[in-house]
Amino acid sequence: MSAAALHDLGVAELAAALRERKVSSVEAAQHFLARAKAHQNLGAYVALNEDATLAQARAADARISAGTAGALEGVPLAHKDIFVTRHFPSTAGSKMLAGYQSPFDATVVTKLAEAGAVTLGKLNCDEFAMGSANENSAISPVRNPWDTDRIPGGSSGGSACAVAARLAPAVTGTDTGGSIRQPASFCGITGIKPTYGRASRYGMIAFASSLDQAGPMARSASDCALLLSAMCGPDPDRDSTSLDVPAEDFSAKLNDSLDGLRIGIPAEFFGEGLSADVRAAVDAALKEYEKLGARLVPITLPRTELSIPVYYIIAPAEASSNLSRFDGVKFGHRAKDYTDLVDMYKKTRAEGFGDEVKRRIMIGTYVLSHGYYDAYYLQAQKIRRMIADDFQNAFQHCDLIAGPVAPTVAWKLGEHGSDPLADYLADIFTLPASLAGLPGMSVPAGFGEGNMPVGLQLIGNYFQESRLLNAAHRFQQATDFHLRRPEGF
């Protein structure tokens, strides 16, 4: 098989070529490692370990020869650097964890390895997954392969960039408030965040524990289904919030008919904040769904706007607690010169954390403090419940919800300057599903301003991942947006 064709193959095709011994896992890994190195300027990869990758690939080749291949046997994948890994440093994009080596693999990493996947390396992200542009990474920004002057989205920006630039056939990401869906949308790829609790959080460096969820990012919905099937499943001994719901074969219903599917269109997702180019692409995608037999049903998610203040209280509150473990004693960075223990804590945290992380620790500590807890944190929790209830009301009238992923296409690097609110506001359409714990995905649906990709967001009720993937797959059978590639890749 020619080297040039290798990075054009999807996960399913590559897995088949590997099983048929048209290509070896070592060859595939070497091909993607060479591409990762050749495109270092994008900033997608933050760690490679060729020896470890090739050792895993050789083991996969041996299993293929022995006829004991798993579903993803020999397929090279890369992981967001928020998952801890034994053979690669795990930094969460932070100076605090520079060079940190975990003694174990995250459950999601282990599960993918058990299915036969080979790890290519670790992918850049916003520091502790806090961000919408990947500009909060302490390591480097990431460039969008469709226009290298633009951001790839965040926080899984390295992940989205790697798939779009064909530096990996598929990758993992995490989504706390949109970090799989929004970068997938900005880079023209497909990504799904499952129902909260379906994938184990064990070994995912925690940002906001009641929201964090892992998921796959790939070029197609069918490839996402393959990865998701391997990633999900209960992990009762290691993650107390992992649900006792068995793993599922998410590929089984991809081809089901969409005839009669009721797609809810929330009025609040199509208001004045939505830019005209994104709206046009989303409207055209919805027309395509009608052609496929679906019916569009107007619905309302009346508390959409409140999801921003609610999320930016709850997520920082949980982050301030989660990040208290980085104190210079147990993990990562420790300041060199200090006078006593308290001084050591202060200097370590002042040096190790970036501005956005510090901002969130301060906000989180404030909203949890005595006297403000009731006014902010408790209120936010109550509204969070109402947002979840709004979805349940909506699902009385529809099977799926569709709308934009983000109000605009990817913006220019540096465009939001030092205004964090500009980033926060751009999360408006992804936060509601996160707060409700619902599965959501982004599907390439067209192009907008500057010829940048636009994603269509699909949101399902709890455990409706199969239905989401089915709807996305049928759309991808009828369109070719997910097959388009950025020039030069």
Q: Does 177 bind ligand GLN (CB under 6 A)?
A: yes
Catalytic option among 24, 80, 102, 442: 80
Beta-bridge partners for 175? 213
Separation CA 357–CA 354 (nearest Å): 6
- List of residues 6+ apart from 20 with CB closer than 8 A: none
Look at the block and give the residue holding tokens 């959080």. Answer: 201
Separation CA 360–CA 161 (nearest Å): 26
Catalytic site includes residue 275: no
Could you tell me how far CA 78 lies from the centroid of its own chain?
12
Provide the minimum distance between the beta carbon of 109 and ligand GLN in the complex, in angstroms, as a whole number: 18
C-alpha gyration radius of the chain: 21
Catalytic option among 25, 90, 102, 155: 155
Give the residue, chosen from 175, 318, 390, 399, that forms a contact with ligand GLN under the rule CB under 6 A.
175
Catalytic site includes residue 179: yes
- List of residues 6+ apart from 480 with CB closer than 8 A: none
User: 3-class DSSP state for residue 379?
Assistant: helix
Q: Does 91 bind ligand GLN (CB under 6 A)?
A: no
Q: Please identify, among the stretches 169-177, 225-233, 245-253, 269-277, the one whose residues bind ligand GLN according to the rule CB under 6 A.
A: 169-177
Provide the minimum distance between the beta carbon of 355 and ligand GLN in the complex, in angstroms, as a whole number: 13
Would you say 44 or 130 has its CB closer to ligand GLN? 130
Provide the minimum distance between the beta carbon of 181 and ligand GLN in the complex, in angstroms, as a whole number: 9
Separation CA 156–CA 159 (nearest Å): 5
Site size for ligand GLN, by CB under 6 A?
13
φ, ψ dihedrals at 281, nearest 5°: -65, -40
Give the residue, chosen from 221, 315, 383, 405, that forms a contact with ligand GLN under the rule CB under 6 A.
315
Give the residue, chosen from 49, 91, 119, 176, that forms a contact with ligand GLN under the rule CB under 6 A.
176
Look at the block and give the residue holding tokens 């200097």. Answer: 347
Would you say 123 or 398 has its CB closer to ligand GLN? 123
Give the residue, chosen from 43, 93, 131, 403, that forms a contact with ligand GLN under the rule CB under 6 A.
131
Number of H helices, E strands in the chain: 16, 11
Beta-bridge partners for 295? 262
Would you say 141 or 178 has its CB closer to ligand GLN? 178
Angle at 75 between CA 71 and CA 79, to 5 degrees: 105
φ, ψ dihedrals at 121, nearest 5°: 165, -170
Catalytic site includes residue 291: no
Provide the minimum distance between the beta carbon of 488 and ligand GLN in the complex, in angstroms, as a whole number: 28
Site map 202..241 versus ligand GLN, x via CB under 6 A? -----x----------------------------------
Q: Please identify, among the stretches 19-27, 107-115, 130-138, 389-397, the one whose residues bind ligand GLN according to the rule CB under 6 A.
A: 130-138
Would you say 153 or 403 has its CB closer to ligand GLN? 153
Catalytic option among 24, 159, 179, 434: 179
Q: Does 129 bind ligand GLN (CB under 6 A)?
A: yes
- List of residues 6+ apart from 190 with CB closer than 8 A: 184, 217, 218, 219, 220, 221, 223, 224, 441, 442, 443, 444, 472, 476, 482
Provide the minimum distance between the beta carbon of 4 and ligand GLN in the complex, in angstroms, as a whole number: 35
Would you say 46 or 69 has its CB closer to ligand GLN? 46
Q: Does 427 bind ligand GLN (CB under 6 A)?
A: yes
Would you say 155 or 320 has its CB closer to ligand GLN? 155
Tokens matching residue 170: 């598929």
Separation CA 58–CA 362 (nearest Å): 48
Site map 45..84 versus ligand GLN, x via CB under 6 A? ----------------------------------------
Give the residue, chosen from 56, 119, 179, 242, that forms a contact with ligand GLN under the rule CB under 6 A.
179
φ, ψ dihedrals at 388, nearest 5°: -65, -40
Residues 386/274, Cβ–Cβ less than 8 Å: no
Which strands form 45-48's sheet, in the order they lie side by side?
45-48, 118-123, 76-80, 170-175, 213-218, 190-193, 440-447, 453-460, 400-404, 262-266, 295-299
Continuous segment of H or E residues that includes residue 460: strand 453-460
Provide the minimum distance between the beta carbon of 311 and ligand GLN in the complex, in angstroms, as a whole number: 7
Provide the minimum distance between the beta carbon of 440 and ligand GLN in the complex, in angstroms, as a whole number: 11
**Alpha carbon distances (Å) from 238 to 201, 234, 439:** 8, 9, 22
Catalytically active residues are 80, 155, 179
Report the interface residues with ligand GLN, using CB under 6 A. 129-132, 155, 175-179, 207, 315, 427
